[in-house]
Chains A and B, each alone.
Chain A
């Protein structure tokens, strides 16, 4: 694990870099900035944007990964959202979905409510928690070189993979995807399953 270094990565660029290699991967985004980040890269029928249900992104990804074992499932969410559903780490570790990659955009802040510090600002180490839960493939990312390795893990390593990318807590312009839940659901299911 790299020693704690300066945080320089820009979340928009990180998400763009991750999604460049997405192929036919399915994406679940946690509420708030990760959803805006994905929208900034460009809307995609394989994206399921969460606009609510804080703490549920990773577990939504688990259910999806179990239902679609032939597809890579990627969850991109924030540190605050992840902290609200930590028990899910143990559940995911026990289920061992080989096709699930979880990526935390960790700006150490609650972005949607005023950039207050989260527990990761004070040393809570999410990948170490993931390892403690029993997830073997984890990474803590501070640099773009580490990011390259982590992206390979997210897409190719035997899951579950848990990657935590430290990103600068900069407020970005909001780029909002559509928000009507039934429509997001239908489009996603149509894309994954064909017309349902």
Chain B
């Protein structure tokens, strides 16, 4: 993984979390997942943010709509499989043009070994686009912070629904289940 220029032990989650603080993210909704585990840990430990663990991903989309209605910024973290649960709920976001920042950690994509992950992984981007979400890809760990930063601008400043798709190449998951 291309993290040579960074200090040993550096992880993209640190910069992304710092950026969340800078732009005033106050609600973090997620279903636990290994691809975003470090970011979730950092956000959960941060008292300026309310971390909410969900039973299923569409709850998170609805919560993000409520957060923005209540005057706060939120971020929604999901695995690619969870995207398939959200398409209907995304119509709140699209119809009201509510800003949405989602970070999607991919399965069924780069080096996947579980066949059952592949159909949804291959359908993730098309499903997001069908749901009216702008998709931004990143497949190098070093590029994740800058991509999230740009996506956050698009979301909160340009009032768009944006998903950052974090490649399985970065998370390196996909070996077991």
Direct contact of A and B (CB under 8 A): yes
Knowing A83-B55, A116-B53 touch, does A51 contact B177 (C-beta < 8 A)?
Answer: yes
Asked, given contacts A52-B81, A179-B114, whether A113 binds B55 with beta carbons under 8 Å apart, the answer is no
Taking a contact as CB atoms under 8 Å apart, the answer to whether A52 and B32 are in contact is no
* B176 and A112 within 8 A (CB): yes
What is the count of residue pairs linking A and B with beta-carbon distances less than 8 angstroms? 54
Interface of A is mostly: loop
Q: A164 CB to closest chain B CB, in angstroms?
A: 16
User: Which A residues touch B116, using CB under 8 A?
Assistant: 31, 50-53, 179, 181
Residues in A neighbouring B176, C-beta threshold 8 A: 112, 174
Residues of A within 8 A of B114 (CB): 51-52, 179
Nearest chain A CB to B21's CB is how many angstroms away?
22
Q: How would residues 9 to 42 of chain B score, 1 for a CB under 8 Å from any chain A CB and 0 otherwise?
A: 0000000000000000000000111100100100
Within 8 Å CB of A112, what residues of B?
A: 34, 176-177
- Residue A192 at the chain B interface, CB threshold 8 Å: no
Cross-chain contact of B115 among A36, A54, A85, A180 (Cβ < 8 A): A180
Nearest-Cβ distance from residue B53 to partner chain A, whole angstroms? 7
C-alpha gap A112/B37 in the complex (Å): 12
* Cross-interface CB contact of A52 among B31, B33, B117, cutoff 8 Å: B117
Query: Smallest CB–CB gap between B127 and chain A, Å?
Result: 15
Report chain B residues within 8 Å CB of A174: 176-177
Given contacts A84-B56, A181-B115, contact A116 B120 (CB under 8 A): no
Contact with B along A158-190 (1 / 0, CB 8 A): 000000000000000010100111000000000
Q: Is A119 an interface residue (CB 8 A)?
A: yes
Q: Give chain B nearest CB distance to A47 CB in angstroms.
A: 15
Expressed in whole angstroms, the Cα–Cα distance for A176 and B113 within the complex equals: 13
Cα distance A47–B110 in the bound complex, in angstroms = 30
- CB B9 to nearest CB in A, in angstroms, measures 19
**What interface size band does chain A fall in?**
20 to 34
Q: What per-residue 1/0 map shows which CB atoms of A40-58 lie under 8 Å from chain B?
A: 0000000000111111000
Contact call B55/A52, Cβ cutoff below 8 A: no
Is A93 an interface position by the 8 A CB rule? no
Interface membership of chain B positions 51-83, coded 1 if the CB is closer than 8 angstroms to chain A and 0 otherwise: 001011000000000000000000000000100
Nearest neighbor of B81 in chain A, beta-carbon distance: A54
CB distance from A186 to the nearest CB of B (A): 15
Q: Does A110 contact B (CB under 8 A)?
A: yes
| Minimum distance in angstroms from B122 CB to a CB of chain A | 13
Tell me, in angstroms, the Cα distance from A149 to B170 when the chains sit together.
47
* Beta-carbon contact of A52 and B120 below 8 Å: yes
Give Cα distance in the complex from A86 to B81, angstroms.
18
Give chain B nearest CB distance to A150 CB in angstroms.
24
Of all chain A residues, which has the CB nearest B44? A116
Option from A32, A86, A114, A179 in Cβ contact (under 8 Å) with B32 = A114
**In the assembled complex, which residues on chain B have CB atoms less than 8 Å from the CB atom of A83?**
55-56
On A, residues with C-beta under 8 Å from B are: 31-32, 35-36, 50-55, 80, 83-86, 110, 112-114, 116-119, 174, 176, 179-181
Sample of 8 further A-B pairs with CB below 8 A, known A54-B81, A181-B115: A52-B81, A52-B117, A84-B31, A110-B32, A114-B32, A174-B176, A179-B115, A181-B116
- Interchain residue pairs with CB less than 8 A apart (15): A31-B116, A35-B177, A51-B115, A52-B81, A52-B114, A55-B56, A84-B56, A85-B56, A113-B37, A116-B37, A116-B53, A176-B177, A179-B115, A181-B115, A181-B116
